Chains A and B, each alone.
Chain A
Amino acid sequence: QVQLQESGPGLVKPLETLSLTCTVSGYSISSGYYWGWIRQPPGKGLEWIGNFFHGGSTFYSPSLKSRVTMSADTSKNQFSLRLTSVTAADTAVYYCTRAYCSSTSCYEFDNWGQGTLVTVSS
């Protein structure tokens, strides 16, 4: 059974960089599927951030693309999110996800972490 677990600071200052890590168990991230992040501001809906395939394609939200980087550490079976120049609008629960994608499209997110709240505040 695939399990995903987010970790990282719960508080980030404005204009600094948000960094989160997702640890995956039950499946090797280098074996297939796409991996990525979705966020949910408190009391609001879901917003896709992006997905990547280790050693292959990357998809980023057009609205966040200039600030987002995703990477993987296969030795630890982890992947990471970096979001630069954060503002209060980036305050949200951040979920790491596994996605089923082709080389051009992602179709569904079939496994989710429990989520971690990141607050942007001075």
Chain B
Amino acid sequence: SYELTQPPSVSVSPGQTASITCSGDKLGRKYVCWYQQKPGQSPVLVIYQDNKRPSGIPERFSGSNSGNTATLTISGTQAMDEADYYCQAWDISTAAVFGGGTKLTVL
């Protein structure tokens, strides 16, 4: 079955750039999206089709996907960005698959 691997945690200082990776076999050949989930809330789509931002998502959120790794980048990270982040892709064997999630801490 297809798996996506994320680091369990990432820390960043306010105003700095946070990068969260998502790894999977030949992931660059698939579309990847990213979700933000704050405590007690539903996930929110922040990046879709590798690098597109839904309406209402700040420009500081960006995405890339190449080779075996997709990356969510948050530029000028703010305290409000502290949350869990999940990557997601579609594979012919497992259909929709999520990464295990990364807890972003803004110190």
Contacts and interface: CB of A to CB of B under 8 A. Distances in A.
Nearest to B90: A105
A108 B99 CA distance: 14
Interface residues of B, number: 23
A43 B98 CA distance: 15
B100 interface: yes
B49 A112 contact: no
Given A45-B86, A46-B101, A108 B33 contact: yes
Interface residues of A, number: 21
Contact of B96 (A95, A106, A113, A115): A106
Interface in A54-109: 59-62, 95, 100, 105-109
B69 to A, nearest CB: 19
Given A106-B95, A108-B88, A45 B49 contact: no
Contact of B48 (A46, A105, A107, A113): A107
A24 to B, nearest CB: 15
A108 B97 CA distance: 11
Contact of A62 (B35, B45, B95): B95
B97 A48 contact: yes
Given A48-B95, A95-B42, A114-B42, A108 B48 contact: yes
A112 B42 contact: yes
Given A61-B95, A106-B96, A107-B49, A46 B44 contact: no
Contacts of A51: 96
Contacts of A109: 33, 35, 43, 45, 88
B50 to A, nearest CB: 10
20 contacts: A45-B100, A46-B35, A46-B88, A46-B98, A46-B101, A48-B95, A62-B1, A62-B93, A95-B43, A105-B90, A106-B90, A108-B45, A108-B49, A109-B33, A109-B43, A109-B45, A109-B88, A112-B43, A112-B44, A115-B42
Interface of A: 45-48, 51, 59-62, 95, 100, 105-110, 112-115
Nearest 7 pairs of A and B residues by beta carbon: A48-B96, A108-B48, A108-B33, A112-B42, A46-B98, A105-B90, A45-B101
